Amino acid sequence: MAQTTIYDLVRRLGLTPRPGQQEGESGNYKCPLCGGKYKLNVNYEKNTYRCVRCGAAGGMLDLFARIVFGHEYDRNDPDAKDIRDAVFGEDNAQPRQSRPVPPAITPAADDVLNKVYRALLSLPELNLTEAHKKALIARGLTEAQIGCYRSMPVPEAVDIPRIYYDLANDCTKGEGMRGFKCPRIALGLYLTELLKERGITNFQGVPGWFKLEDRWCLYNIDGIMIPTRSLDGNVVSIQVRTDNAKLRYMTLSRKEFPSAVSTGISRAHVTRNTTKAPNECKVLLTEGPLKANVISALIHEPVYVIAIQGVNNTKCLLPLLKELREKGVEVIYNALDMDRITNRNVREGSKAIRRMMANEGFKFPCLVWDRDACANIAKSFKAKLPEGRVNPQEYQDLWTYTTALAAELEEQEISHNTSWPSRSKGLDDWLKTQRSKGR
Ligand SMILES: [Zn+2]
């Protein structure tokens, strides 16, 4: 009989999945422990879970014990056997769903990815649209600084020969594939064909491509294409800022499609505004390649800016940290958005990165760019707490003090709902504000 998996368990428990999420190695659910909307990440391969909001984490038995029995799982507890029987027991008549786990497909080497992605980005069909140009300039970039970005067009904007529509319809009986519609498949087949004409023939191991019967096809979503670069400057992944307000940023890939890369897709991004070596100038860490590029373009000192794709997406950082260490870097500045102080989710992510930095032997000091806003927020937090609850003398600086106040408010279940002012939430926002003031 098939072993019960955490995939079966979350269904049995009736957890609410994030609407429209893709089937993959993991899924996000509403956390039944703290109510956090889609903060509970369930890893189907490791049979583990973790809530990024309340920090609860463990295996299947622990998840079941906390939800149904109201406490952590401990195999020495008197009810431990009941919990095990309820999860794995023979007399449990719930239907079991077994989920076939396909073999992992890993990415090709960086120079292979670079060759394919650069050829893709050089296609005139992907030239920046006026709307995307405007959006980038609104972020603080100049015309000269937007040369590396491209637009993935809507299929209707491209002169796609009829044969690609016919192929897309024939292969999918006109229905497309799991939300990926026929005109988009036609565009993906056509762009791939244009690359073949330019001598790019092998798409194996390149995230973004999948096989439609025996043909390679590019998964595509319309939006601004932002290249993710390695320390060596290779383009190793492409992020898309979608035109759909709900989705915002996505990596160009569809890992559950046939022959598509299924693991190791997310990569850390590196950009710089200097020819100096990384150990001869400041190295900053932020979230999101576009943000990193804006910081690097607007800041008045030589820097390397590294970006993770999301504050809870830290695994991709590890190989880069090892490379930087070998190059003699010892300090990386924390330039994550300032809501790492006030937003619990960002703060937990920031803490996890701090632990990783410490493990790898890096100092990770905080950059604070808007002291005034931080002081105001500290003042408003202090007013909500009983006198003497958090002693400023115990903290080395204003931001660790403010962070402690935010944590104490959450501990006391006092809502603070603080949003950082938009002029200085990100270092990119702050640099743009300063520039508009002529500083
Ligand atoms: Zn939770």
Burial of 18 (0-12, 13-18, 19+ CB in 10 A): middle
For ligand 1, the distance from its centroid to the CA atom of residue 83, given in whole angstroms, is 20
The arithmetic mean of pLDDT across residues 187-214, rounded, is 97
pLDDT digits (tens, 9 = 90+) for 45-100: 899 999 988 888 999 999 998 888 777 888 877 788 888 888 887 544 444 455 55
Check residue 419 and give its pLDDT: 78
Residues 6+ apart with CB under 8 A from 51: 31, 33, 34, 36, 39, 40, 41, 57
Spatial neighbors of 82 by CB under 8 A, at least 6 apart, are 69
Write down the pLDDT at residue 93.
Answer: 42
Q: What residues have CB less than 8 Å from 365, skipping those under 6 apart?
A: 331, 333, 334
The rounded Å distance from CA 15 to ligand 1 centre is 12
Is 110-251 a domain of CATH 3.90.980.10?
yes
Of 48, 30, 15, residue with least CA distance to 40: 30
Tokens 């790898």 belong to residue: 360
C-alpha 413 – ligand 1 centre gap (Å):
14
**Quick check: pTM over 0.85?**
no
Mean pLDDT of 409-418: 81
Q: What separation in Å is there between the alpha carbon of 351 and the centre of ligand 1?
A: 17
| Cα–ligand 1 centroid distance for 159 (angstroms) | 49
Q: Would you kindly state where each structural domain of the chain is located, as residue ranges?
A: 6-88, 110-251, 269-436
Distance 416 CA to ligand 1 centre (A): 18
Q: What is the pLDDT of residue 47?
A: 92
Most confident listed range (28-42, 320-334, 374-388): 320-334
pLDDT band for 439, please (50, 70, 90 cuts). Answer: low
For the ranges 138-152, 181-195, 392-406, the maximum mean pLDDT occurs at: 181-195
Report the separation in Å between the CA atom of 56 and the middle of ligand 1, taken as the mean of its atom positions. Answer: 6
**Is 407's pLDDT higher than 50?**
yes
Distance between CA atoms of residues 114 and 232, nearest Å: 11
Give residues with Cβ within 8 angstroms of 78, minimum separation 6.
Answer: none
Instruction: Evaluate if residue 245 carries a pLDDT over 80.
Output: no
Q: Are strands 40-43 and 48-51 parallel, antiparallel or unpaired?
A: antiparallel
Query: What is the overall mean pLDDT for the chain?
Result: 90
Residue pLDDT, tens place only, 87-129: 887 544 444 455 555 578 999 999 999 999 999 999 999 999 9
HEC states along 194-263?
A: HHHHCCCCCCCCCCCEEEECCEEEECCCCEEEEEEECCCCCEEEEEEEECCCCCCEEECCCCCCCCCCCC
> 27 CA distance to ligand 1 centroid (A)?
14
The average pLDDT across 392-415 equals: 87
Band of pLDDT at residue 2, cut at 50, 70 and 90: low
Of the candidate ranges 5-9, 147-151, 274-278, 348-352, the one whose mean pLDDT is the lowest: 348-352
CATH number of 269-436: 3.40.50
Q: How far is the CA of 32 from the centre of ligand 1 (A)?
A: 7
Q: Ligand 1 center to residue 218 CA distance, Å?
A: 37
Q: What's the confidence (pLDDT) of residue 131?
A: 95
Distance, CA 22 to ligand 1 centroid (Å)? 21
Å from CA of 365 to ligand 1 middle: 28
The CATH number assigned to the domain with range 6-88 reads 3.90.580.10
**Phi, psi for 269 (deg, rounded to 5):** -110, 145
CA–centroid distance, 282 to ligand 1, in Å, is 36
CA 79 / ligand 1 centre spacing (Å): 23
| CA 348 to ligand 1 center in whole angstroms | 12
Could you report the per-residue pLDDT of 215-244, keeping only the tens digit for each? 999 999 999 999 999 999 999 999 999 987
| Ligand 1 geometric centre to CA of 371 (Å) | 31
Mean pLDDT: which of 29-33, 251-255, 297-301 is highest?
A: 297-301
The yes-or-no verdict on residue 399 having pLDDT over 90 is no
Q: State the distance from the centre of ligand 1 to the C-alpha of 289, rounded, in angstroms.
A: 28
Distance CA 91, CA 30 (A): 29
Q: Ligand 1 centroid vs 252 CA: distance in angstroms? A: 29
* CB-side neighbour CA atoms (13 Å) of 396: 2
Distance of CA 40 from the midpoint of ligand 1 (Å):
6
CA 82 – ligand 1 centroid, Å: 24
| 412 CA from centroid of ligand 1 (Å) | 17
Higher pLDDT, 387 or 231: 231
**Least confident window among 32-46, 70-84, 312-326:** 70-84
Higher pLDDT, 221 or 349: 221
Distance, CA 90 to ligand 1 centroid (Å)? 30
